[in-house]
Amino acid sequence: MVVDIIDIGSGNIRSIQNWIERVHIATRVVTKATDIKSDFLILPGVGSAGSYMERLKKSAFDQAIHEHVQNNKRLLGICLGFQLMAESSEENGGIEGLSLLKGQVKRLDKKISHNGWENFNFKKEELSNQSFHSMCKLTRKKRLNGRVFFNHEYGYLNQDEQSFSKPISEKYPNHSSMVVKDKIIGMQFHPEKSQFTGLELISMIL
């Protein structure tokens, strides 16, 4: 198995590679939309939403991501990558997202950003209604109790009752920390910087 990671010149690609390779899965950094080949694609995200979306469109990655999903392959969006899978984001005065997930991205609070660690508890069986569930074969681990690292000012508000959505915390009950819909998974936190919990999580979803 090889995991493709989209690289449009933003940061933290190296961290994503390190994270995946720690569970002995090979990675390939993809800089051209036509080079996506893997069944598992990662859309990382660092930067401001408007600029990132513009670069995705300019390099035709937006179409390539849609084709990847239409071909019934798995997609993981991280942080801004997750937010851009929504229908829209109010960042940068409002932008249109990839509309892969039915939800909106809104500012958490005018004065507050969410930088820090939150408890994260997750049972694999919670995904049983999503086709993603049957494709996770790297480990038999069924339960995860740990903590994950957040660094964001905007958050995803899920509007799809059919999807699996986990809230960030009691303080942010309406914003999702993780969403799974069919073969798409989105994480608002940084699993690649969530230490032991991040490692356990990747082994549960690959």
Partner 1 sequence: MRTGATILLKDGRCYQSYQWSQIRPLGSLQNIINSLEEYQCDEVAIIRLVRKDDCREALNIDLRLLQQVNTMTPLSFGGGIRVSDDLDLLTALPIERLIFSTAFINKNTDLLNQATQSYGRQAIQCLLPVKYSQGRIEIFNCQKNTFLAIDDVDFDYINTHANEVVLLDTQNEGLHDKFDKEIIKGIPLDENKLIISGGISHNIIRWAKEVNLASALIDNKVLHQEHSIMSYKHA
Residues that bind partner 1 (CB under 8 A): 9-15, 18-19, 22, 46-48, 51, 80, 111-113, 115-117, 149, 151-153, 190, 192-196, 198-199
Q: How far is the CB of 63 from partner 1 (least distance, A)?
A: 23
Q: Which of 68, 114, 175, 192 is catalytic?
A: 192
Residue 69 or 205: the one with the smaller Cβ distance to partner 1 is 205
Distance CA 32, CA 158 (A): 30
User: Two tokens at 90?
Assistant: 């109010």
Closer residue to partner 1, CB minimum distance, 164 or 172: 172
Using left for φ > 0, alpha for ψ between -120 and 50, and beta otherwise, residue 98 falls in alpha
Work out how close the CB of 147 gets to partner 1 at its nearest, in angstroms, rounded to a whole number: 8
Q: How far is the CB of 1 from partner 1 (least distance, A)?
A: 21
Q: Please, which residues have CB within 8 angstroms of residue 82's CB and are 6 or more apart in sequence?
A: 43, 45, 156, 179, 186, 187, 188
Partnered with residue 75 across adjacent β-strands are: 41, 184
Rounded to 10 degrees, what is the CA torsion of 184, 102, 5, 188?
-100
Q: Rounded to the nearest whole angstrom, what is the least distance from the CB of residue 130 to partner 1 in the complex?
A: 26
Please confirm, yes or no, whether 152 is among the known catalytic residues. Answer: no
Catalytic, 87? Answer: no
Name the E strands within 98-158. 103-107, 114-123, 143-152, 154-158
Q: Is 118 tagged catalytic? A: no
State which residue, 4 or 200, has the beta carbon closest to partner 1.
200
**Could you say which of 68, 79, 91, 200 is catalytic?**
79
Residues 6+ apart with CB under 8 A from 153: 107, 108, 113, 114
- Active-site residue set: 79, 190, 192
